[in-house]
Amino acid sequence: MTFKNGKFISGLMYPKRKKDIFASLYREPRFPGGIKALDDFVSKNTDKCRDSIPQEITLIIHISEEGEPEYDQIITGDINNCQYEELIELVRKMPKWTPAVRYGRYVESSYVLRVKY
């Protein structure tokens, strides 16, 4: 770890034999490839429901400390059964994320995902 004037600058951590470079002791979960890759993934895996209501759905997904995504709940939007199943499948198909970091350790976290129909 690198410190300057008593403040953390950067470092390496090796939890469970996995090398990860981080620039602070805190970090939110990250989709592989970043926000653009997440947007592309969502657009490729939605809009299969013919009777969907045009709107933005906000859902919460849980990211484990190993980076596994899991559906949690829908917090805004009225959806039909087809959209509900599609959103559950969307989260199931997601690759592993880079988990959140707190105090230099991987932790469970939540991520708010917006899906436009």
Q: How confident is the model at residue 15, as a pLDDT?
A: 56
Q: Span 46-66, mean pLDDT? A: 88
Q: How confident is the model at residue 99, as a pLDDT?
A: 94
Is 2 part of any domain? no
Long-range CB contacts (within 8 A, 24+) of 81-88: 82/48, 82/49, 82/50, 82/51, 82/52, 83/49, 83/52, 83/53, 83/57, 83/117, 86/45, 86/46, 86/48, 86/49, 87/46, 87/57, 87/59, 87/115
Q: How confident is the model at residue 54, as a pLDDT?
A: 79
Is 15 part of any domain? no
In this prediction the pTM is 0.76
Per the structure, the complete domain to which residue 103 belongs is given by: 27-116
Is 89 part of any domain? yes
Q: Percent of the chain scored above 70 by pLDDT?
A: 79
**Number of domains forming the structure of the chain:** 1
Is 102 part of any domain? yes
Q: Span 46-59, mean pLDDT? A: 84
Residue 6 has pLDDT above 90, yes or no: no
Is 6 part of any domain? no
Is 86 part of any domain? yes
Name the residue with tokens 């008593």.
6
How far apart are the C-alpha atoms of 51 and 17, rounded to whole Å? 47
What is the sign of the dihedral through the CA atoms of 42, 44, 49 and 55?
A: positive
Is 35 part of any domain? yes
Is 82 part of any domain? yes
Residue with more model confidence, 105 or 84: 84
Which of 10-24, 71-85, 93-107 comes out lowest in average pLDDT?
10-24
What average pLDDT does the structure give for the chain? Answer: 85
Instruction: Kindly report, residue by residue over 103-113, the tens digit of the pLDDT.
Output: 878 899 999 99
How far apart are the C-alpha atoms of 71 and 75, rounded to whole Å? 12
